[in-house]
Amino acid sequence: MLDITDLTVRYGKLTALDEVTISVAEGEAVFVVGPNGAGKSTLLKTLAGLLRPAAGQVAFQGRPINGGAPERLCRGGLALVPEGRHIFRTLTVQENLAVGMMIRRDKAAAKADLDRVMDLFPILRDRFGGIAGNLSGGEQQQLAIARALLQRPRLLMIDEPSLGLAPLVIDQVYASLKALNADGLTLLVVEQSTARVLDLATRVHVLRGGRVVLSDTAAALATGDAMEEAYFGYAGQADA
Amino acid sequence: MRNFLQVMIDAVALGSLLALVALAIGLVFGVMRLINFAQGDYITIGAYALVVPTASLTPALLIGALPVALMVAGIMLVVVLLALATERAAFRPLRDSDPATLLISSFAVSYFLQHLVMLIHTGRPKSVGIGQALTTPIDIMGLRVPGIQVVTMAVTAALLIALVLFLKRTPLGIQMRAAAENFQMARLLGVPANRVIAVAFVISGVLGAVVSLLLVVQTGTLSIRMGLMPVIFAFFATVIGGMGSLAGAALGGFLVGVASVLLQSYLPEGLRPFRDAFVFGLVIVILLVRPKGLIVIGAARERV
């Protein structure tokens, strides 16, 4: 579904992503984990069209999408829930969801999807007319995911869904993501914390200093310390 | 008491005018982070479009000679097209630049437009007689209120209501509010950047045209810098209202207008020539107390 090949992104002279190659197949839940500054958010921003790659290719469903405008890419089926959620704080929950639905032409189906996401996140039904800025962090994360789901994306990209949330709320968010993935939605998630990754991931890539230092299936990584070693750079030191 | 009410009507009328200019500036700033000082020149060109281009100090009417409805529509069309042209030619190519670059660009556009008017109409002030019937005072409960002040307040109220309905009730208006709060996120959700910015410029053009007409009827004169002071006052209004907040811009416009008229009326006579210094001093005091303005976007505390 998504093929990233030798993707390089630079901020001036700083190379944030260095020849990153990652593939996401339909129905997968692919996680990219890594420490601060590894280039995780840069990766998702580039895929969503907010940053232009310096080199490399990105193909979505077989078509190159390098450097496409965000509003065009989202119409093609790519949705991003960015780090920090970025809900529209001064708009109501209803208005936030309405902006999420704006690209939908099938209004009846969009309305049905609205009912579905509110079944998935019941708190949004309770807070429908309320100002989004008054929601708690967990509720805002649910709103951000719901808003992205209303775009009916083929690939949902989420930047650090657990950031700044209480453990119980993280459980709820991950349970929702698991349900969505079980329903067939393809996920590409980046996380700094590796704690919950293997609960949901089908495949994991570890990013360090802008390079992919480990790629494997979640099943293979479930045993042993390979993910932690790659994350903290022990493997690299051992090799050196 | 009667004198105070008379002063308050003047104050609200000026506040209304500044609120319209502040809204135009606030709307464009919201979606583009551009403080568009050329808004003043939209006002100026809208006013000059009423008359035939000539060196005469009492030029014949051009669009101003049309029946009122057509005249209003004509001036709106001129200013909207001008606003869209400046957006397309000067601001869109710089959309991803930092706010300082955009600001400099708006100064350049402003000077370009001023000199364009000077080239076509000469730089000398002109007199123009439009809507003179509106300058006749109307008796309202013992107060003598010039008709143009009533019209200014009524038009401002109507435009504010229309703008609020547009922004709150229409999909495009909701998208504009979303874009004004977080432009990048709005784009990620499919809000087309070009369309939202163009609509902001169209609205700023409509507001600019209305201010042009109201100013010409009030003053009966045309000058190449007639839009400058309203824009400077309105800029301060958007700052004290809270940059990025449309409600703040409107509120700031009213406050600056009211403060300006009250100071003009109640300052000791010797200090009245320095009224603007007092108004801007008040702006500094407000910003010292509330550095982010009176209405802060996204003020709600981050919750976990």
Structure tokens that stand for B226 in this block: 């007639």
The answer to whether the CB atoms of B175 and A70 lie below 8 A apart is no
Measured distance CA(B265)–CA(B259) in Å, rounded: 10
User: What angle, rounded to 10 degrees, do the helices at B2-32 and B193-219 form?
Assistant: 150
Q: Is B186 on the interface with A (CB under 8 A)?
A: yes
- Mean pLDDT over B113-128 rounds to 94
Angstroms from B30 CA to nearest CA on chain A = 13
What's the confidence (pLDDT) of residue B297? 62
- Mean pLDDT over A179-188 rounds to 93
Chain B residues inside the 8 Å CB shell of A136: 303-304
Of A19-33, A150-164, B234-248, minimum mean pLDDT range? B234-248
**Domain regions of chain A by residue span:** 2-86+153-239
Element (H, E) at B126: strand B126-127
**B1 pLDDT tier (thresholds 50, 70, 90):** confident
Q: Is B66 on the interface with A (CB under 8 A)?
A: no
Taking a C-beta distance cutoff of 8 angstroms, is the pair A174, A199 a contact? Answer: yes
Q: Is A176 on the interface with B (CB under 8 A)?
A: no
| Secondary structure class of A201 (helix, strand, coil) | coil
Measured distance CA(A130)–CA(A227) in Å, rounded: 42
Order of all β-strands in the sheet with A63-64: A14-24, A2-11, A55-60, A63-64
Residue B295 lies in a domain: no
Give the domain A2-86+153-239 fold.
Rossmann fold (3.40.50)
**B132 pLDDT tier (thresholds 50, 70, 90):** confident
Of A71, A95, A165, the CB nearest to B187: A71
Q: Is B96 on the interface with A (CB under 8 A)?
A: no
Residue B100 lies in a domain: yes
Interface confidence: ipTM more than 0.95: no
Measured distance CA(A234)–CA(A230) in Å, rounded: 6
pLDDT score of A238 more than 50? no
User: Between the CA of residue B301 and those of A89, A170, B265, what are the distances in Å?
Assistant: 10, 20, 41
User: At A228, which amino acid appears?
Assistant: E
pLDDT score of A28 more than 50? yes
pTM recorded for the entire structure: 0.84
**B299 pLDDT tier (thresholds 50, 70, 90):** very low
User: How many residue contacts between A and B have a Cβ separation below 8 Å?
Assistant: 84
**A167 pLDDT tier (thresholds 50, 70, 90):** confident
Beta bridge partners of A188: A30, A157
pLDDT score of A227 more than 90? no
Which of residues B163 and A166 earns the better pLDDT score? Answer: B163
Q: Backbone phi, then psi, for B56, in 5-degree steps?
A: -60, 145
What's the confidence (pLDDT) of residue B300? 41
Which of residues A61 and A195 earns the better pLDDT score? Answer: A61
User: What angle, rounded to 10 degrees, do the helices at B171-181 and B193-219 form?
Assistant: 100
Q: Is A123 on the interface with B (CB under 8 A)?
A: no
Angstroms from A136 CA to nearest CA on chain B = 5
Beta bridge partners of A159: A190
Residue tagged 């437009």 (tokens): B113
Chain B residues inside the 8 Å CB shell of A70: 184, 187-188
Chain B residues inside the 8 Å CB shell of A82: 185, 188
Q: Is B238 on the interface with A (CB under 8 A)?
A: no
Q: What is the mean pLDDT of chain B?
A: 90
What's the confidence (pLDDT) of residue A235? 54
Of B184, B299, B304, the CB nearest to A166: B304
The predicted-structure confidence for A95-149, as pLDDT tens digits, reads as follows 999 999 999 989 899 999 999 999 988 999 999 999 999 999 889 989 999 999 9
Measured distance CA(B61)–CA(B47) in Å, rounded: 11
Q: Is A151 on the interface with B (CB under 8 A)?
A: yes
What's the confidence (pLDDT) of residue B298? 54
The predicted-structure confidence for B177-219, as pLDDT tens digits, reads as follows 998 888 889 999 999 988 999 999 999 999 999 999 999 999 9
Q: Is A164 on the interface with B (CB under 8 A)?
A: yes
The predicted-structure confidence for B13-69, as pLDDT tens digits, reads as follows 999 999 999 999 999 998 888 999 999 999 999 999 999 999 999 999 999 999 999
What's the confidence (pLDDT) of residue A168? 85
The answer to whether the CB atoms of A99 and B175 lie below 8 A apart is yes
pLDDT score of B252 more than 80? yes
State how many domains chain B has: 1
What's the confidence (pLDDT) of residue B302? 43
* A12 φ/ψ sector (left φ>0, alpha ψ -120 to 50, else beta): left
Residue tagged 């959700």 (tokens): B189
Q: Is A135 on the interface with B (CB under 8 A)?
A: yes
Q: Is B169 on the interface with A (CB under 8 A)?
A: no
Q: Backbone phi, then psi, for B6, in 5-degree steps?
A: -60, -45
Range of the structural domain that residue B11 is part of = 2-289
Q: Is B170 on the interface with A (CB under 8 A)?
A: no
- Mean pLDDT over B279-299 rounds to 82
Chain A residues inside the 8 Å CB shell of B167: none
Q: Which own/partner pairs from B232-237 qualify as long-range (CB within 8 Å, at least 24 positions apart)? A: B232/B40, B233/B18, B233/B21, B233/B257, B233/B260, B233/B279, B234/B18, B234/B21, B234/B22, B234/B24, B234/B25, B234/B39, B235/B22, B235/B25, B235/B35, B235/B37, B236/B279, B236/B280, B236/B283, B237/B18, B237/B19, B237/B21, B237/B22
Angstroms from B184 CA to nearest CA on chain A = 8
What's the confidence (pLDDT) of residue B127? 93
Q: Backbone phi, then psi, for B288, in 5-degree steps?
A: -65, -35
Measured distance CA(B238)–CA(A170) in Å, rounded: 40
What's the confidence (pLDDT) of residue B131? 82
- Mean pLDDT over B7-16 rounds to 90
Taking a C-beta distance cutoff of 8 angstroms, is the pair B240, B255 a contact? Answer: yes
Chain A residues inside the 8 Å CB shell of B175: 99, 102
The answer to whether the CB atoms of A50 and B303 lie below 8 A apart is no
What's the confidence (pLDDT) of residue B226? 94
